[in-house]
């Protein structure tokens, strides 16, 4: 440590999430920092408003759908195949500033997007899916990514 630093205190706290949340892992090859690593994850709350009222049932449905899931981009898929036991697999690969990355997972543990997997595009995707399901309703999705970061999408 530099001479002018005499003491460092670190306080850790457990993140309290009230309501639905999901665990997901993704990689952002276009990111300039550590988020470009192909499998870094988040435990994130989600809020869904339908016709200006919070819909906890929809929040819980998305939290369950994305419980311990890899959110992947079609752009990064390099291979799909089925093993002898019938398990379907998908391989993602890309090159970013921090190196070459590859990951193979069972397709049952993957949720695919047609876009990058930023929190902004995740919120837009969920809002779009819900708007398709409820075309007459106003949908607002708040998707979070860690502490103090998130996005809002409305349809």
Residue 47 · residue 88 · CB < 8 Å? no
Scored b (16 or more CB within 10 A) or e, 36-49 reads bbbeeebebbbbbb
Please give the Cα distance from 153 to 155 (Å, whole number). 7
Residue 14 lies in a domain: no
Residue 134 lies in a domain: yes
Q: Which CATH number belongs to the domain containing residue 105 in this structure?
A: 3.30.479.10
- How many structural domains compose the chain? 1
Give the structural domain span for 143: 21-154
- CA-based torsion, 32, 33, 35, 38: positive or negative: positive
User: Does pTM surpass 0.95?
Assistant: no
Per-residue pLDDT of the chain (155 residues; tens, 9 = 90+): 788 988 888 888 777 888 899 889 998 888 877 778 898 888 889 999 999 999 999 999 999 999 999 999 999 999 999 999 999 999 999 999 888 999 999 999 999 999 999 999 999 999 999 999 999 999 999 998 866 788 999 99
Residue 58 · residue 134 · CB < 8 Å? no
Residue 15 lies in a domain: no
């Amino acid at each position: 440590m530099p001479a002018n630093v005499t003491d460092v205190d670190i306080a850790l706290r457990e993140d309290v999430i009230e309501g639905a949340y999901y665990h997901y892992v993704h990689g952002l090859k276009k990111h300039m920092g550590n988020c470009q690593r192909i499998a870094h994850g988040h435990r994130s709350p989600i809020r869904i408003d339908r016709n200006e009222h919070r819909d906890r049932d929809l929040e819980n449905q998305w939290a369950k759908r994305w419980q311990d899931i890899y959110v992947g981009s079609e752009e990064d898929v390099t291979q799909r195949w089925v093993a002898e036991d019938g398990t379907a697999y998908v391989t993602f690969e890309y090159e970013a500033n921090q190196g070459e990355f590859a990951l193979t997972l069972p397709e049952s543990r993957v949720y695919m997007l047609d876009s990058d997997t930023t929190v902004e595009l995740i919120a837009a995707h969920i809002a779009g899916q819900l708007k398709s399901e409820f075309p007459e309703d106003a949908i607002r999705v708040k998707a979070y990514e860690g502490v103090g970061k998130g996005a809002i999408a409305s349809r």
